[in-house]
Structure 1
Amino acid sequence: MAEDSENKADFEPRDADKTAAPSMPVWKDDDDDVEDDLGGSAVTSEPDWVAKRRRELLETDGKGELDASSALTGKLAKVKPSSRTSGVRFRIDRQGDSRFNISVDGGIAQVGFDQGCSVLAVLGRRSKSVLLYEVDRHRSEGKYFRLKGEMSSPATSGEAVSSFAFSDEGKSMLLVTNRKNVMKYDMNQNSTLRISSLTNPRTESRYSRVHTPPASDDEAASVFALSCSDHGGVLLCDARSNAIIHHFQMNAVSVGVGFHYRAGVVITADKDANIYEWDLATGRCVHKFKDDHSLHLTSFAISPGAHEEFSRHAFVAAGSQMGFLNLFPLLPGAAEGDEERSCIKRALLKSYGNLSTPITSIAADDSGKFIAYGSEHKKNALRIIHNPSGCVVGNWPTENVGIGRVTDMAFASRFSTLAVGNRAGRVQFFRILTS
């Protein structure tokens, strides 16, 4: 027991030393001893930048003092607006027609108008079939864009369609299927003809897209091009005989093909940001350069306009994987006998970084006034450029427009209307009011 009491005493706390020195502060400044007693009131010292900003505001407003309510917040926090406006502003109205709302299960893969803007074609992403709608041209020239009704669709014998393009000034359509076949649909006779004279290169598994020149492009009106899916091949074909004229070979997979409106060349681009110029007659690559502002391209288009009054706004548009749209000036053509002059100025005209995801679709109207570009990787990722001013339309789209994930676009230039297809399977129409 005595031993237990002794152990217990060892564990009992000892009394604190009454004579221990008082605790010292961890940190002590030199001026702590001379610090004034503020009596509970806070003192706020103004930094130099605050005083400078206050003087600038006083000089700008022409006043001798600021009121008490805005002494520390108010005008000091209000930044003076810039004299340069952000972008241009246009009124863009949604065009609705409850009788012919276009909705396709599985999403929209491609939309397009014929050369006269009298027929709208819609390709379903999952259904792999083409739907045709007649445009009410009389009503659409008025206040609102309207569709008249659905037309007979091309019969492809069960083959899945991967791309289409209008040809013969809108009298026929070219269809590319996933079975390496190309078909021609006569819209007047409602008949489909398989083009058997075209053979896919052995190095390519299938055709990815078909391209046709603008209707008014006399230099290239009798040809069309087929992009291959694997190794960057592009086939130039004769629209009359349906025979392959030239086989263009690029360094990487094709992202787009365009026909120059006057110079008689085909302009192509590949995934590795290389842009090529091919001579229509000889099939020779006359020029090639790399877009140094992009690492990888995801879309490509050239100005479709053939009007001389808008030729100074002609462009080559390259959409990058980082969401930038780069524009290069497109010249009317090389001088007679000058083989070294390119139709494209390699100096960048302008780069637009308004999107943060890869650009998947580019569209331009025939007049050359507007360029639309979008990305299906993000909702409402669509922007419109006013080409003459070089500015992006700043007041559209708004958050409540509800465009969705844009998969493809097409301009009906005759009616100043943009058709937008999205991943949800809807096609929406927006009219740009310029006057």
Structure 2
Amino acid sequence: MLRRGIKRSADQSDGSDKARTSRTVPSAVRKSHLKGQPLGAKRERDQEEKELRRKVFGGEEELKEVLTSSTSTKEQKKQKKKSTAALNAEFRKPAWEDPDDNPGMFEKLAGTPKWAKLPTSKDEDVSDDDSDVDELTRRTGTNLVTSSSLPSGLLQIKRCPDANSDSPSTGKLTCVKFHPTAQVLMTGSTDQTIRLFQIDGKNNPKIQNVFLNNFPVMSADFLKNGEEVVMGSKHQSFYYYDMIGGNVVFVPKIKGLGENNMASLRVTPDGKFIVFLGSFGNIHLVSAKTKEWIHTLHMSGTVADITFTPDGSTMFATGDDGKVFVFDLNTRQCVHHFFDDGCVHGTTIALSHDSQYLVCGSNTGVVNTYDKDTCMTSQSPRPLKAIMNLTTSCTTAVFNPCTEILALASNVTEKAVKLVHFPSFSVFSNFPELNDTKMRIPCSMDFSRNSGFLAMGNHKGRALLYRLNHYGSY
């Protein structure tokens, strides 16, 4: 009815009436009526929304305060972070500044420190575990080695990485030899190569390889206080290597010598002679300086091994008839001989560095220990001790420099190695270890100059290295 009335009055009135009608009725009323919704419901809903906004935000004024406070809280947090960073910076500043301070000092120390460098003959650090002992040894010299005697029973020994792990051999290690002055180990192998290693007990880096074509190295030793290495093989000639000049020199067959096998050689302690163990009991003396043949000594039977007094004036030789011959190298005469007690076939002989003990090994594994002075005055001396811990032929016998350990080995069977304590003549019970599977067949052994290391070459080309903790230096 209302809609019809409004329409009828609009049709009947003029333009002014239309304008007046438009001003009289509100637009919200017109819209609500067009949608078919009652006007009161619309107002109630608007009132509810307004009331809900007021309860939640607290009205327009309260909403402005909430937004303003949120913004101020963020600014306060930023200011707090800035102040905290500034406070930390203040604490990191030094309490004072020394004008002598060098800001670049740490950059200069960024290089390799001294303790990380390879040890040399003058810097004998061998391991971190022994740093205190090594420092004491460097201050006292070699006197520390003999200041306290080595106890018997158990040996303080530690396995190190192989001496030749940086350049392993493919053939049998026929010889291992420590340099007389430097911290260097030389190995000779049937793979026709001589190798030199810097011994530090950790990395043992390779210094140099010397390859000799068609010359399997059967024996080798140092000459001229370690400036040369002489090498022998199953040939009529031999080589020597000049370590200073870096030259390998070939020495052809010596005229008039008549020897076809120069495989086994020794160098006298005074460095005067290279001594070759020849055939049919012949012992050839060659000048270490000129490499010329000087003289040939003779003994009955065959010569198996020789050893020298520390001054190089006297030589002891053993052979297959159980006799030991004593030669004066100054007069080049045999001055004495005696029978090794119970020996039928002698295989090795060694004299201690203090010239007190002489040991003679045989093919039965028995090693007789004599007093050297008694051997020089009697043809049938009685041994101080018969060491019977080896069951096969004794092929290696080496004393350590301070005459407290005798290393014995046999190249006939695996792990046939014994270390004997002197002067008790008892064997160290903890060497070799039962679970040591890398030792295999020992072919050569040597002690470092202060007994700090023991090197052992086996038939697989490995140079096993052991640290003797009782001795404080290399």
Shorter-chain TM range is: 0.5 to 0.7
CA distance in 2, matches of 1:332, 1:199: 40
Match of 1:124 in 2: 189
Structure 2 letter corresponding to 1:209: S
Within the alignment, does 1:298 sit opposite 2:347 as a pair?
yes
User: Which entry has the higher C-alpha Rg, 1 or 2?
Assistant: 2
Structure 1 letter corresponding to 2:262: Y
Match of 1:207 in 2: 262
Structure 2 letter corresponding to 1:159: F
Match of 2:238 in 1: 182
Match of 2:218 in 1: 162
Gap regions ≥5 residues in structure 1: 1-86, 137-144, 215-219, 334-340
The two structures have a TM-score, normalised by structure 1, of: 0.67
Match of 1:399 in 2: 434
Q: Rate the CA distance shift 1:284–1:112 in 2: closer, same or farther, 3 A.
A: same
CA distance in 1, matches of 2:316, 2:164: 41
Q: Rate the CA distance shift 1:102–1:400 in 2: closer, same or farther, 3 A.
A: farther
Alpha carbons 2:219, 2:265 under 8 Å: kept = yes
Q: Rate the CA distance shift 1:262–1:329 in 2: closer, same or farther, 3 A.
A: farther
Structure 2 letter corresponding to 1:433: N
Counterparts of residues 237-252 of structure 1 (less than 5 Å) = 237-252=286-301
Within the alignment, does 1:109 sit opposite 2:174 as a pair?
yes
Match of 1:360 in 2: 395
Instruction: Say which SS state the counterpart of residue 154 (structure 1) adopts.
Output: strand
The partner residue of 1:198 within 224, 236, 254 is: 254
The partner residue of 1:416 within 427, 447, 452 is: 452
CA distance in 2, matches of 1:281, 1:425: 38
> What does the per-residue CA deviation read over 1:140-163, in whole Å, with 9 as the maximum and x for residues that have no partner?
xxxxx2454212233534433321
CA distance in 2, matches of 1:301, 1:158: 31
Query: Which stretch shows the higher mean deviation, 190-199 or 158-167?
Result: 190-199
Within the alignment, does 1:235 sit opposite 2:284 as a pair?
yes
Structure 2 letter corresponding to 1:366: P
> What does the per-residue CA deviation read over 1:180-227, in whole Å, with 9 as the maximum and x for residues that have no partner?
11222111111012234834733x42113111123xxxxx43222111
Within the alignment, does 1:95 sit opposite 2:160 as a pair?
yes
The two structures have a TM-score, normalised by structure 2, of: 0.62
Alpha carbons 1:133, 1:147 under 8 Å: kept = no
CA distance in 1, matches of 2:204, 2:416: 30
Q: Rate the CA distance shift 1:325–1:415 in 2: closer, same or farther, 3 A.
A: closer
Q: Rate the CA distance shift 1:172–1:147 in 2: closer, same or farther, 3 A.
A: farther
Query: Which stretch shows the higher mean deviation, 402-411 or 256-265?
Result: 256-265
CA distance in 2, matches of 1:98, 1:287: 41
CA distance in 1, matches of 2:231, 2:242: 11
Shift of 1:97: 5.9
> What does the per-residue CA deviation read over 1:246-265, in whole Å, with 9 as the maximum and x for residues that have no partner?
21112122211212114721
CA distance in 1, matches of 2:287, 2:274: 7
Alpha carbons 1:180, 1:200 under 8 Å: kept = no
Instruction: Say which SS state the counterpart of residue 317 (structure 1) adopts.
Output: strand
Alpha carbons 1:331, 1:345 under 8 Å: kept = no
Gap regions ≥5 residues in structure 2: 1-151
Within the alignment, does 1:226 sit opposite 2:276 as a pair?
yes
Match of 1:349 in 2: 384
Alpha carbons 1:89, 1:393 under 8 Å: kept = yes
Instruction: Say which SS state the counterpart of residue 210 (structure 2) adopts.
Output: coil
Within the alignment, does 1:433 sit opposite 2:441 as a pair?
no
CA distance in 2, matches of 1:159, 1:381: 28
The partner residue of 1:380 within 415, 424, 429 is: 415
Match of 1:328 in 2: 370
Q: How many residues align?
A: 320
Once superposed, what is the RMSD of the aligned Cα atoms?
A: 2.7
Within the alignment, does 1:289 sit opposite 2:338 as a pair?
yes
CA distance in 1, matches of 2:235, 2:312: 34
Structure 1 letter corresponding to 2:179: D
CA distance in 2, matches of 1:195, 1:288: 33
CA distance in 1, matches of 2:310, 2:226: 18
Q: Rate the CA distance shift 1:195–1:147 in 2: closer, same or farther, 3 A.
A: farther
Shift of 1:132: 1.7
Q: Rate the CA distance shift 1:227–1:98 in 2: closer, same or farther, 3 A.
A: closer
Instruction: Say which SS state the counterpart of residue 289 (structure 2) adopts.
Output: coil
Alpha carbons 1:301, 1:318 under 8 Å: kept = yes
> What does the per-residue CA deviation read over 1:346-381, in whole Å, with 9 as the maximum and x for residues that have no partner?
331211000111112122212211110111222211
Match of 2:207 in 1: 151
Query: Which stretch shows the higher mean deviation, 127-136 or 275-284?
Result: 127-136
Shift of 1:269: 1.3
Q: Rate the CA distance shift 1:423–1:100 in 2: closer, same or farther, 3 A.
A: closer
Structure 2 letter corresponding to 1:391: S
Query: Which stretch shows the higher mean deviation, 370-379 or 108-117?
Result: 108-117
Q: Rate the CA distance shift 1:251–1:132 in 2: closer, same or farther, 3 A.
A: same
Shift of 1:278: 0.9
CA distance in 1, matches of 2:396, 2:163: 27
Shift of 1:109: 1.6
Alpha carbons 1:117, 1:412 under 8 Å: kept = no
Match of 2:8 in 1: none
**Percentage of matched positions with identical amino acids:** 22
Shift of 1:231: 1.0
Alpha carbons 2:327, 2:334 under 8 Å: kept = yes
Counterparts of residues 300-319 of structure 1 (less than 5 Å) = 300-303=349-352, 305=353, 310-311=354-355, 314-319=356-361
Shift of 1:405: 1.3
CA distance in 1, matches of 2:424, 2:323: 27
CA distance in 2, matches of 1:428, 1:274: 34
Alpha carbons 1:109, 1:123 under 8 Å: kept = yes
Match of 1:135 in 2: 199
Match of 1:371 in 2: 406
